[in-house]
Chains A and B, each alone.
Chain A
Amino acid sequence: MDTNIIEVFGLTKKYGSFTAVDQLTLSVKKGEIYGLLGPNGAGKSTTILMMLGLTEPTSGTVTVCGINPVTNPIEVKKKVGYLPEDVGFYDDYSGFENLVYTARLNGLPQVEAGKRAEDLLSRVGLHDEAKKLAGKYSRGMRQRLGLADVLIKNPEVIILDEPTLGIDPRGMQELLDLIAKLSREEGLTILLSSHHLQQVQQVCNRVGLFVGGRMIAEGEISSLSKGLFKNEPFTIEAGVRIPPEISAGTISEKLKSVEGVLTVGFDDGRMIIGCSRDLSTELASAIISSGAGLTCLNKKTYGLNDIYNRYFENA
């Protein structure tokens, strides 16, 4: 299972003087779900386009299933299903006809294409809408049709660019479940890009954090948070009501004097205290003895959200 399906080495893409992707190196193993995570404009889509040979890299190499998409895009496209961001269909054709067209572009004969299209439409839950014009589909339905469109060529790898963009929470959940199910049942390798942390956290085995064209961290989510917050493994959030006679500064000073406290931040009535071990009781008494009111005390655990924010601060 440890063979790499996608390998990217030193990949760079420049538009004039602007560098969209900068010396990117990553690898995706067979059968895993890899999340490319980053804000808008981080170079996620550009990286994906280069994987498919839809744009040329300025330097560096990409191989997908051992094939170079720059010199041999057709072979790559036979094995890779790509769902573009905000996928479009021919509006005056039905969902079914759109799928049959894609299937025939992949060299399937007419009757078989029809069968496969029907099968996939019911798998993504669009069986009743199969004969409806694609132009009348809702956003969520279009995205599910897109997934069927990607699967119709029997791919080894699927690349999804922002698959959940603009879908309501329930539709998003369904789509993510579908993606996870596909990976489990068919052993598909999936690369998905998103700026939506929760989703990535939910389905991905590994994530790569992507900012300004650079990969700033890569790995499983748990190992990412360990690596990032190793100096301050505990963060305690305290809600503080400060009486007018004392300033926030004095409270900070007081808290910093507690042994084991590393950082103290103040944010809109909340103190965020990073410490080397669990200091909840000591901090509570310190706050109260300083004369301020304590409204709540909360031990924080790190999700991807915090990792994300922290990385963006550093980047």
Chain B
Amino acid sequence: MFMNLKVNDKPVHPFRVIVDKEISDHIRSWRFIILLILIALACLGSVYTAVTNISATIKQADENAFFFLKLFTVSDGTLPPFFVFISFLGPLLGIAMGFDGVNSEHNKGTLSRVLSQPVHRDYLLNAKFVAALTVISVMFFSLGFLVMGFGLIITGIPPTAGEFLRVVIFILVSIIYVAFWLNLSILFSVRFRQPATSALAGIAVWLFFTVFYSIIVSIIAKAAAPSELVSEHQAVRYEEMILNLFRVLPSQLFSDATTTLLTPSVRSLGPLTMEQLVGAIPGPIPLGQSIMLVWPQLTGLIAATVLCFILSYISFMRKEIRAR
């Protein structure tokens, strides 16, 4: 905690002081320990199914290219693969780390005490974000590297540089995805006085996106479905419209991005016509091309994250800080 063994007695920038405190609070909290156990279990489970099924997968494939990435994507259907787990548990993690960030400080009466110290008001908000993101990043990177390490030990095949980079980028994308949910829940924690309300609001958005939104889209899809006689061009446009409707979802953006990154043979995220495929040699595309393919998705995710952050920033900066 505060009493470090190594005494380095220089004044520390107040922002660092707040971030340090937030990180130590997160790590010592039961909430984080529970989430960590949950995600570690998911990770272990998916690695187990991947490893048990990987031999069958390798036999199917004509070459054992990108074998290492299969650790993250292969599943026999009993347990979802690692990246699906992340897309499911990521929102939970983000919401749990942020939903009481500001309002609990307010309710405890510590907010007005901290803000009456000579620190800029946004330090507190930024520190909450940075601290939670640091903890999440460390967790994801260690889990990702653990999965790779297990794969290495069990199968004995080392990853290529390209595979390693793809995994690192996959982890970065996952962190951005969780950062979106984290910012959304921090926004709710600024807006709502009760932590329970803000947690519920976060979960409501999550449920809406995962369950109800797809129902709504399918209703729209049915209503707008063209007849079977329409031109190919129109059919493609219809398909694209439905896809774009889904792409409002952060989870859709995330799964588009991760599938492309972890499965190098994916070369398009939309419908492809036969003409477009003429002359194409089936095979994996290079990392640069994969990133180019998911660039819009990445930009979208980052934009949504930044948007939530800005909204909470604005409402926090102009908020009146009353004691309790």
Contacts and interface: CB of A to CB of B under 8 A. Distances in A.
Do A and B interact? yes
| Size class of the contact patch on chain B | 35 or more
B8 A106 contact: no
Interface string B14-34: 100110010000001000000
A52 B116 contact: yes
B110 interface: yes
B7 interface: yes
A105 B10 contact: no
A49 B108 contact: no
Given A74-B118, A149-B113, A54 B7 contact: no
A276 B181 CA distance: 74
B8 A110 contact: yes
Interface string A100-132: 111011111111101000000000000000000
A90 B121 CA distance: 19
Interface in B1-16: 1-4, 7-12, 14
A153 B117 contact: yes
A45 B117 contact: no
A87 B323 contact: yes
A203 B306 CA distance: 51
B322 interface: yes
A85 interface: yes
Contacts of B115: 54
Contact of A104 (B14, B110, B322, B324): B14
Contacts of A75: 118
A201 B191 CA distance: 41
B11 A107 contact: yes
Tell me what chain A mostly uses at the interface: helix, strand, loop, or mixed.
Answer: mixed
A7 interface: no
Contacts of B114: 105
A105 B18 contact: yes
A88 B117 contact: no
A49 B320 contact: yes
A175 to B, nearest CB: 17
Contact of A88 (B8, B9, B110, B121): B110
Interface string A75-86: 101101110111
Contacts of A54: 112, 115-116, 320-321
Given A77-B118, A86-B323, A88-B108, A110 B4 contact: yes
A52 B1 CA distance: 30
| Size class of the contact patch on chain A | 35 or more
B109 interface: yes
B285 interface: no
B241 interface: no
Contact of A111 (B7, B28, B318): B7
A161 interface: yes
B237 interface: no
A109 B2 contact: no
B225 interface: no
Given A77-B118, A109-B11, A161-B323, A84 B2 contact: no
Contacts of A146: 113
Given A86-B109, A101-B21, A49 B7 contact: no
A111 B117 contact: no
A131 to B, nearest CB: 11
Nearest to B320: A55
A107 B118 CA distance: 9
A105 B109 contact: no
Contact of A97 (B1, B108, B109, B118): B1
A63 B18 CA distance: 28
A97 B11 CA distance: 16
B119 interface: yes
A45 B18 contact: no
A102 B113 contact: yes
A102 B110 CA distance: 11
A124 B225 CA distance: 76
Nearest to B18: A105
A149 B117 CA distance: 10
A89 interface: yes
Contacts of A92: 28
Contacts of B118: 74-75, 77-78, 105-107, 153
23 contacts: A45-B323, A49-B320, A54-B112, A54-B321, A56-B318, A80-B116, A81-B116, A82-B116, A86-B324, A88-B110, A88-B111, A90-B110, A93-B1, A97-B1, A102-B113, A104-B17, A105-B17, A106-B14, A106-B117, A107-B14, A110-B4, A110-B7, A149-B113
Interface of B: 1-4, 7-12, 14, 17-18, 21, 28, 108-121, 318, 320-324
Closest 6 CB pairs of A and B: A88-B109, A84-B323, A82-B116, A55-B320, A77-B118, A88-B108
Given A54-B112, A109-B12, 4 more contacts: A82-B116, A87-B323, A88-B109, A105-B118
